[in-house]
Amino acid sequence: MEPGNLTRVSGFLLLGFSEGPELQPLIFGLFLSMYMITVFGNMLIILAVSSDSHLHTPMYFFLANLSFVDICFTSTTIPKMLMNIQTERKVITYADCITQMYFFLLFAGLDNYILTVMAYDRFLAICHPLHYMIIMNPRLCGLLVLMSWIMSILHSLLQCLMVLRLSFCTILEIPHFFCEIKQVVQLACSDTFLNHMVMYFGAGLLGGGPLAGILYSYSKIVFSILRISSSQGKYKAFSTCASHLSVVSLFYCTSLGVYLSSATPQSSHSGATASVMYTVATPMLNPFIYSLRNKDIKRALKRFFGKETIKGPIVLGLKKMHMIAGLKA
**Separation between Cα atoms, residue 6 and residue 17, nearest integer Å:** 27
DSSP symbol at 238: H
Enter the pTM of the model: 0.85
Q: How far, rounded to the nearest angstrom, does the alpha carbon of residue 293 sit from its chain's CA centroid?
A: 20
What is the per-residue pLDDT for 322? Answer: 47
What is the per-residue pLDDT for 226? Answer: 83
What is the per-residue pLDDT for 204? Answer: 80
94-127 and 138-164 helices, crossing angle to 10°:
150
The alpha-carbon radius of gyration of the chain (Å, integer) is: 24
Q: Rounded mean pLDDT of 8-36?
A: 83
Strands of the 173-174 sheet, one edge to the other:
91-93, 11-14, 173-174
User: pLDDT class for 310, splitting at 50, 70, 90?
Assistant: very low
What is the per-residue pLDDT for 102? Answer: 96
Q: Is the pLDDT of residue 25 over 90?
A: no
Q: Is 329 helix (H, G, I), strand (E, B) or coil?
A: coil
Q: What is the tally of helices (H) and strands (E) in the chain?
A: 14, 3
Sequence-distant (≥ 6) Cβ neighbours of residue 273 within 8 angstroms? 17
Whether residue 71 contacts residue 38, with contact meaning beta carbons closer than 8 Å, is answered with: yes
Beta bridge partner(s), residue 188: 168
Domains of the chain (ranges; CATH) run 11-293 (1.20.1070.10)
User: CA 255 → CA 25, 83, 89, 278, distances in Å?
Assistant: 27, 26, 29, 6
Q: Is the pLDDT of residue 117 over 90?
A: yes
Residue 4: CB atoms within 10 A of its CB come to 14
Backbone phi, psi, residue 202, to 5°? -65, -40
User: pLDDT class for 103, splitting at 50, 70, 90?
Assistant: very high
Q: Rounded mean pLDDT of 100-125?
A: 93
User: pLDDT class for 76, splitting at 50, 70, 90?
Assistant: very high
User: pLDDT class for 281, splitting at 50, 70, 90?
Assistant: confident
